[in-house]
Amino acid sequence: MLDFNALNASLVYPEDILHWAENAYHERLAVVTSFQITGIVTLHMMRELGLKVDVLTVDTELLFPETYDLMNRLQDTLKFNLIPVKAELNVSQQAAKYGDTLWSRDPDSCCQMRKVVPLDKALVGYDAWITGLRRDQSKTRSTIQAISWDKRNEKVKISPLVDWTEEMVWTYIHAYDLPYNPLHDKGYPTIGCWPCTQAVSDGGDLRAGRWVGTAKTECGIHL
From 110, 111, 196, 219, the catalytic residue: 219
For 147, phi and psi rounded to 5 degrees? -130, 125
Distance set, CA 223 to CA 112, 116, 173, 190, 219 (Å): 12, 10, 28, 18, 8
Instruction: Tell me if residue 219 is catalytic.
Output: yes
In degrees, to the nearest 5, what angle opens at C-alpha 136 toward C-alphas 18 and 59? 65
Catalytic amino acids? 219
